[in-house]
Structure 1
């Protein structure tokens, strides 16, 4: 399978896939298709993610296997998440993220649906706080 080219080599903006073809029967489908998040990763990043999955997300185990320090691995994971356009889900980040919903939306780190969900959660939390006072 050929590697996808998700960014324009001239301007660096995301490219769109406009045609899919089956080599077995010649069927072609045309349209606009978004490249999957994994298409933004180079071979080295893909190997990193494969090891991450094989260790079930255990960075300490990856540290043991690779000899690369834990914090270097975390930094690498953060860079891979950024390349994929993903934001980490952190246990106590919900409150801080909901305060920055519009910033996250503007930076395209979350979708409109995720922004609405965060705002609803924030509103419910505020309403729960008022009723218990």
Structure 2
């Protein structure tokens, strides 16, 4: 199955997922669907993230397994984060960290839904 195109091959603008289909019973649902950032990583980046997760985020262990130097792995991780539009937590300002922690606390206490938390975090990212 081919990977999704993150950007239009003609104009370069972001592509939107507008249709889902069940192969079992041929039901098709149309609309605009949010797609996780992981869907737009290329195969090499996906393999890297899987290895990173399997080593439980331990870059020293990943270095041992792959033979790739620690700093090269850090650079690779930074590039994947950038491709996904994510800012490392250590680079967030104190205000952003407090707000994010607050949102996650409300979510954990089930005072807001996942969709509301995502919306709040997106609004914070736009400021």
TM-score (norm 2): 0.72
Are 2:83 and 1:72 equivalent residues in the alignment?
Answer: no
Q: Tell me which residue corresponds to 2:13.
A: 13
Q: Tell me which residue corresponds to 1:111.
A: 122
Q: Tell me which residue corresponds to 1:120.
A: none
Q: Tell me which residue corresponds to 1:34.
A: 34
For residues 43 and 14 of structure 1, the distance between their equivalents in structure 2, rounded to whole angstroms, comes to 19
How far did residue 72 of structure 1 move? Answer: 0.7
For residues 20 and 96 of structure 2, the distance between their equivalents in structure 1, rounded to whole angstroms, comes to 38
Q: Deviations over 1:12-59 (max 9, x none)?
A: 221001110101111110001132201120000000000000000000
Q: Tell me which residue corresponds to 1:49.
A: 49
TM-score (norm 1): 0.69
Greater gyration radius: 1
In structure 1, the residue corresponding to 2:31 is in which secondary structure? strand
Structure 2 unaligned segments of length 5 or more: list them: 98-120
Q: Tell me which residue corresponds to 1:4.
A: 4
In structure 2, the residue corresponding to 1:53 is in which secondary structure? helix
Kept in 2: contact 1:18–1:30 (CA 8 A)? yes
For residues 12 and 95 of structure 2, the distance between their equivalents in structure 1, rounded to whole angstroms, comes to 31
How far did residue 11 of structure 1 move? Answer: 2.1
Structure 1 residues 96 and 73, CA gap change in structure 2 (3 angstroms): farther
- C-alpha RMSD of matched pairs (Å): 2.2
